[in-house]
Chain A
Amino acid sequence: MEEREKLNRLRWRCTRRAMLEMDLLLGEFLERIYPTLTPEQADAFVTLADMEDLDLWPLVNGSRQSPDPVQAEVLALLASVRIK
């Protein structure tokens, strides 16, 4: 799959989610922070985006921790996103 297709698929999965909160956060992250990630971080983000919202939300708001260090880095960035 070429880059544009991959990115568009990721965009769909970031902005057509079950909960509005996650549409907003992941959509904003994709536009602003995703382009600055290392390849390992980018892969970790794709894995996170494939999770269901009620599993992802506790990881973002800090009520659960990810055991994976790269994933934890990406989650910290995700938690720093502000919608305003």
Chain B
Amino acid sequence: MSKSSIPVLKFDAVIVGAGGSGLRAAIQLSEAGLKTAVLSKVFPTRSHTVAAQGGVSASLGNSEEDHWHWHMYDTVKGSDWLGDQDAIEYMCRKAPEVVVELEHFGMPFDRTDEGKIYQRPFGGHMSNFGEKPVRRACAAADRTGHAMLHALYQRNVRANTQFFVEWMALDLIRDESGQVLGVIALEMETGDVVALHAKATVFATGGAGRIFYSSTNAFINTGDGLGMAARAGIALEDMEFWQFHPTGVAGAGVLITEGVRGEGGILRNSSNERFMERYAPNAKDLASRDVVSRAMVTEINEGRGCGPNKDFVLLDITHLDPATIMKRLPGIREISIQFAGIDPIKAPIPVVPTCHYQMGGVPTNYKGQVVREDGTPVAGFYAAGEVACASVHGANRLGTNSLLDLLVFGKASGDSVVHDVRSGELGLKDLPADFAERTLARLDRLNTQTGGASVAETRLELQRTMQKHCGVFRFKDMLVEGVARILDVEKAAARTEIKDKSKVWNTARVEALELDNLVEVAKATMVSAEARKESRGAHVRDDAPDTPANPNGRDDVNWHKHTLWYREGNRLSYKPVIMKPLTVDTIALKTRSY
């Protein structure tokens, strides 16, 4: 088909994604008067940002003394020194500004008696460069993400942002020079394929946590932005780093809060042993997330898991007073009954370490511009939020820094777009003649495929492969085998068959297209993880143990660098970590211990 066969809509800017980061970026653009389109697979306030309850961090110092430099230190340390220090300084310095701005947009933060934003303690938030805990998290009851999205959405309505709801972006449009010229998208309600031609394109598509079998992420997190970027020749950075939460309900993935262990919950193996006593004699079940997760996986791998497949452990609160459970852990009983099929007052909850957050993504600088390996921006392309890798989270994200990332880099990417469009750097360049060809070929293939694999089965195979070969605790041989397995899954995914070939509201087609994206993310993750022969942050390998030369298995001599994975040829490359902050001194490499 030639380019005249699909309709083209023209904008100054198109933003893919209407979660916290996309909506924050859109405010900058619309308020600057740019003609802006925001695409979303769902109504904006149904984006996954809603699930965030814990809060957003900023060194406001409302409850006690705090400083952005201390926040910066915590973030660098949390990242296990893989975060870029220019971006981390930028984010931590900007935090108070963007949080107060959000308050002005109408965010109903919890307040102190004097009417200031109330701040509570959170794991990893410390004062005076790691000395003692500090209250830095700002929240709106347990609805922080929800309230944030509503405040940002209302502001966009006021600014006349144009929303394209239940539209799925399929591919990025790039010309020969590599400049990004917009996206090709599918309107679900009509089945029409349309080009959104723009001077600037911002990706804010969120994470890809659905590559794992056990995931706390909603079904929508299929990594579409990563898939589109990879197919367009953009590298994906640090994809081996995924944060796992120790206690997701086995099978369903639904999160069981840390508070359950805080209230006295005990982890047990198949012989009813309180196994954490062996791994962490002092902290026991309250040891840090990674220690608990690793212990759980070791129990399972050594045959002491529970259930017919011996593939989970148990979180026991049957010894607690039912009144305490109902009062201190509201909702846990309902969640256990509905998602684990057990009443936790009478029986223990089956749990496994569960994928929670993606640290890697599309490489950007602290201005939200997507960058090449040498740091130069890709003209016309920007990214923010979980899809992007600025890199502020490095090898491990600090709790509440993700919502902050959305605000800071959503705004920064928006400002960069406004600057680049206004300065005349970006015009509306002509679309290349064959710009829609690859996408239309992909759709054609789906419409004509016979005798192929089912989408649901292929997706399940992908998720099980990732969970087994590239989970929270990683083994050399499993990773090597995992690479081969995931390439097999890719082959099956290239031949998926959908029975429903109709045009309008064809959800089977949409799911097949989502699977294409999951495949790219899974390959990037497996290949990057297999190659990184050290343990750092959330990437923990059995063959990179804790030694005096390499504390915690971290090998700075060989591996203090960012991974870049390219789809073409499944190729890896590396680039240095930016150790020089914008204005302060470098926070020098040190062993990460809490």
Residues of B with C-beta under 8 A to A11 = 507
Residues of B with C-beta under 8 A to A31 = none
Q: Is the CB of B254 within 8 A of A5?
A: no
Which listed residue, B189, B217, B334, B338, touches A20 by the CB 8 Å rule? Answer: B217
The answer, yes or no, to whether B218 is at the interface (CB within 8 Å) is yes
A13→B47 CA distance, assembly (Å): 12
Q: Is the CB of A84 within 8 A of B340?
A: yes
Q: How does the 8 Å CB contact mask read for A1-23 relative to B, with 1 for contact and 0 for none?
A: 00011001101110111111111
The answer, yes or no, to whether B421 is at the interface (CB within 8 Å) is no
Chain B residue total in the interface (Cβ 8 A): 40
Residues of B with C-beta under 8 A to A79 = 338
| Known contacts A18-B48, A19-B218, A61-B331: A52-B506 contact under CB 8 Å | no
Q: Is the CB of A62 within 8 A of B334?
A: yes
A22→B48 CA distance, assembly (Å): 12
Residues of B with C-beta under 8 A to A15 = 219
Q: Is the CB of B252 within 8 A of A16?
A: no
Residues of A with C-beta under 8 A to B335 = 21
The answer, yes or no, to whether A25 is at the interface (CB within 8 Å) is yes
A41→B42 CA distance, assembly (Å): 24
Q: How does the 8 Å CB contact mask read for B264-305 relative to A, with 1 for contact and 0 for none?
A: 000000000000000000000000000000000000000000
The answer, yes or no, to whether B33 is at the interface (CB within 8 Å) is no
Q: Who on chain B is nearest to A18 by CB?
A: B50
The answer, yes or no, to whether A48 is at the interface (CB within 8 Å) is no
Q: Is the CB of A81 within 8 A of B253?
A: no
Residues of A with C-beta under 8 A to B215 = 20
Which listed residue, A9, A17, A21, A52, touches B505 by the CB 8 Å rule? Answer: A9
A62→B330 CA distance, assembly (Å): 12
The answer, yes or no, to whether B592 is at the interface (CB within 8 Å) is no
Q: Is the CB of B218 within 8 A of A18?
A: yes
Which listed residue, B50, B252, B507, touches A53 by the CB 8 Å rule? Answer: B50
Residues of A with C-beta under 8 A to B166 = 12
The answer, yes or no, to whether B51 is at the interface (CB within 8 Å) is yes
The answer, yes or no, to whether B450 is at the interface (CB within 8 Å) is no
Q: Is the CB of A24 within 8 A of B252?
A: yes
Q: Who on chain A is nearest to B339 by CB?
A: A83
Q: Is the CB of B253 within 8 A of A20?
A: yes
Q: Is the CB of A83 within 8 A of B252?
A: yes
Q: Is the CB of A84 within 8 A of B341?
A: yes
The answer, yes or no, to whether B41 is at the interface (CB within 8 Å) is yes
Which listed residue, B143, B338, B505, touches A8 by the CB 8 Å rule? Answer: B505
The interface of chain A, by Cβ under 8 A from chain B, is 4-5, 8-9, 11-13, 15-25, 27, 52-54, 61-62, 79, 81-84
Closest 7 CB pairs of A and B: A18-B50, A8-B505, A84-B341, A61-B334, A5-B505, A23-B219, A8-B507
The interface of chain B, by Cβ under 8 A from chain A, is 41-42, 45-51, 143, 146, 166, 188-189, 215-220, 251-255, 331, 334-335, 337-341, 500, 502, 504-507, 510
10 contacts between A and B (CB under 8 A): A16-B220, A17-B218, A18-B46, A19-B50, A20-B216, A20-B255, A21-B335, A52-B45, A61-B334, A84-B251
